[in-house]
Amino acid sequence: MECNGYIQAQCDFGNPSGSGLAAIHLPGMEVEAYTTVQSKLGAFHAAIKSAQLTASNAGDLGNTYISESAAARPDASVNTDRRLVASYRVTGDNRVRRVTIPGVPTTSTGISAEDAGERLNATGKAALAAALEAAYGLTAGDVVILSGKVTQKA
């Protein structure tokens, strides 16, 4: 396993949106405790700023842990542009959240063809709710799936 580090570099202009945001990626870092990686990322940015290799300010610091199997392609033909866009709520919280999942198979049992297009069916809603509850450490029944539709980029 390896860890990839990300530093949000805040400049005062640039990018098509004029946000001045850019990212510094540090792939292949050692897998360590979250706070240790965060400290190393902050120290890296401070060092390159001190050396005048950047004049940006460090914004968000992030890291991801990548396993070697993450790069393997699936056995079947899977289109990354075929996506499930689902909205959901968590019990006790009125915010509507959204998750986008790429690579929806055309043979999915969790998707049904309806008049309005391909939609998440009861089986798919139950599976997605259970997966979200497990990912966030919630109790069964805490996630309410509001909608889910399949989109395809042209």
Give CA–CA dist 146/99, Å, rounded.
11
> Are 67 and 121 contained in the same domain?
no
> Are 6 and 67 contained in the same domain?
yes
Give CA–CA dist 7/42, Å, rounded.
8
For the chain, what is the mean pLDDT? 86
- Assess if residue 140 is contained within a domain: yes
To the question of pTM greater than 0.85 for the whole model, the response is no
Task: Provide the pLDDT confidence category of residue 20 given band limits of 50, 70 and 90.
Answer: confident
> Are 61 and 91 contained in the same domain?
no
Give CA–CA dist 121/130, Å, rounded.
14
Q: What's residue 66's pLDDT? A: 65
> Are 67 and 86 contained in the same domain?
no
pLDDT average, residue stretch 37-54: 89
> Are 58 and 22 contained in the same domain?
yes
- Assess if residue 63 is contained within a domain: yes
Q: How far is CA 95 from CA 14, 20, 86, 119, 128, in A?
A: 32, 29, 14, 22, 18
Q: Which domain holds residue 98?
A: 82-152
Give CA–CA dist 84/14, Å, rounded.
32
Give CA–CA dist 31/104, Å, rounded.
31
Chosen domain end from 19, 44, 71: 71
In this structure, are residues 120 and 130 in contact, taking their beta carbons and an 8 Å threshold? no
Q: For the chain, what is the domain count?
A: 2
Give CA–CA dist 59/61, Å, rounded.
6
Percent of the chain with pLDDT over 90: 40
- Assess if residue 14 is contained within a domain: yes
pLDDT average, residue stretch 27-39: 87
CA 39, 32, 99, 126 dihedral sign is negative
> Are 67 and 114 contained in the same domain?
no
Structure confidence by residue, pLDDT tens digits, 80-120: 888 999 999 999 988 899 999 988 988 899 999 999 999 99
DSSP label of 104: -
- Assess if residue 76 is contained within a domain: no
Chosen domain end from 39, 71, 103: 71
> Does 16 have pLDDT greater than 80?
no
Provide the residue type at 133 as one letter. E
Q: Where is pLDDT greater, at 70 or 20?
A: 20
- Assess if residue 77 is contained within a domain: no
Q: What's residue 72's pLDDT? A: 62
Percent of the chain with pLDDT over 70: 91
Whose CA is closest to 101, among 85, 88, 112?
85
Chosen domain end from 71, 100, 121: 71
> Are 51 and 104 contained in the same domain?
no
CB-based burial of residue 142 (10 Å sphere; 0-12 exposed, 13-18 middle, 19+ buried)? middle
